[in-house]
Amino acid sequence: MRPEDILLPTPSGVCCKAGNFHIDPTRPVARALITHGHSDHARAGHGAVLATQETLDFMRLRYGENFAGRTQAIAYGETVTLDGVRVTFHPAGHMLGSAQIAVEANGLRIVASGDYKNVADPTCASFELVPCDVFITEATFGLPVFRHGSADAEIEKLLHSVALFPERAHLVGAYSLGKAQRLIALLRKAGYGAPIYLHGAMEKITRYYADRMDLGELRLVTGARKGELGGAVAIAPPTALTDLWSRRFPEPVTAFASGWMRVRARARQRGIELPLVISDHADWDDLTATIAATGASEVWVTHGQEDALVHWCTTRGLRARPLDIVGYGDEGEEEPDERPQSQP
């Protein structure tokens, strides 16, 4: 039996005919298995959704109660059988609730990773290595130039700047779901105890996190007096850094937390004074090390910089192919304006 007889790549996501489901489909389907809450993977309008409780909650927070016909929560390590196909969810380390989905039939195991990272993140369960025959990987940072380094060291850089400019606000751009909350947790882990200010767009999601872990005192920027913001750390969606909203900050130091900040030209282009290389995606070393560690003889690459990773696999004697799925990579670190110039 070929892997394609179990999971068939289509332009709108991989499809399991035997189990009658799609994984992270980009169009409405009868039954969807969702890896995580980012909107390019988790869309509204499916007949039924199987996902972790957190992913279901994020979809509900974002799309409202009726985001799917039916929902079913699945825990990490739990297996369900869908029309004879075994499906198990494992932690992906990408954000709260994120999962890799292992699909097994006829003695063959295919793992769809969704987005993932292999470094510790205080806001979510750590990536779990799942041995498999076919590994479906992302490639957001699939170029050798991308090496993320230590997130803790980047947080130290931010705290150093806060100490150096006690009268200036530090305005940090971070994606609203996952990255913003990880930043707050990393700041707390580093011993930063002052209130952290939030842009209103990330309030609901951050409160959801704060109900589940200690994020310290959080305040909304709206309602804060100008004097109060001097010396403070505020977190906002990347687009807010340049809009009118940012004018309320006294002489802000503008920072941006993203894997893309490894490329200095991008930071300059966006007018970022303090680039912070903090990513929720695997870097080149982690992508290649993970592929090797799964023991997979075949690799499918969903989105990002597919070519270099496919080439790397081929040089290792692995079968590899890009999946050309349309519609992934338009949220978070994969926002269109975050992508390399060469891509549409």
Torsion sign across C-alpha atoms 262, 24, 294, 292:
negative
Specify the DSSP element, H or E, that contains 88: strand 85-91
Instruction: Please report whether residue 24 would count as binding Zn ion according to CB under 5 A.
Output: no
Question: In the complex, what is the shortest distance from the CB of residue 114 to Zn ion, in angstroms, rounded to a whole number?
Answer: 7
Torsion sign across C-alpha atoms 55, 210, 236, 138:
negative
Radius of gyration, alpha carbons of the chain? 20
For Zn ion, the closer CB: 38 or 148 = 38
For Zn ion, the closer CB: 115 or 121 = 115
For Zn ion, the closer CB: 38 or 43 = 38
Stretch that binds Zn ion, among 32-40, 145-153, 162-170, 237-245 (CB under 5 A): 32-40
Query: How distant, in Å, are the alpha carbons of 96, 131, 179, 182, 342 from that of 125?
Result: 7, 18, 15, 12, 34
3-state helix, strand, coil split of the chain in percent (to 5) is 30, 25, 45
Number of H helices and number of E strands within the chain?
8, 19
Question: In the complex, what is the shortest distance from the CB of residue 107 to Zn ion, in angstroms, rounded to a whole number?
Answer: 30
Instruction: Please report whether residue 338 would count as binding Zn ion according to CB under 5 A.
Output: no
Instruction: Please report whether residue 38 would count as binding Zn ion according to CB under 5 A.
Output: yes
Instruction: Please report whether residue 115 would count as binding Zn ion according to CB under 5 A.
Output: yes
Question: In the complex, what is the shortest distance from the CB of residue 169 to Zn ion, in angstroms, rounded to a whole number?
Answer: 29
Stretch that binds Zn ion, among 30-38, 153-161, 239-247, 309-317 (CB under 5 A): 30-38
Cα–Cα distance measured from residue 32 to residue 5, given in angstroms and rounded to the nearest whole number: 18
For Zn ion, the closer CB: 99 or 187 = 99
Count of residues interacting with Zn ion (CB under 5 A): 2
Question: In the complex, what is the shortest distance from the CB of residue 226 to Zn ion, in angstroms, rounded to a whole number?
Answer: 35
For Zn ion, the closer CB: 124 or 274 = 124
For Zn ion, the closer CB: 249 or 300 = 300
Q: What are phi and psi of 311, to 5 degrees?
A: -65, -45
Helix axes 306-315, 284-294, angle to 10 degrees: 40
Torsion sign across C-alpha atoms 90, 94, 97, 100:
negative
Nearest to 98, CA basis, from 129, 124, 136, 68: 124
For Zn ion, the closer CB: 94 or 170 = 94
Question: In the complex, what is the shortest distance from the CB of residue 39 to Zn ion, in angstroms, rounded to a whole number?
Answer: 9
Residue pair 76/54 in contact by the 8 Å Cβ criterion: no
Instruction: Please report whether residue 179 would count as binding Zn ion according to CB under 5 A.
Output: no
Contacts to Zn ion by CB under 5 A? 38, 115
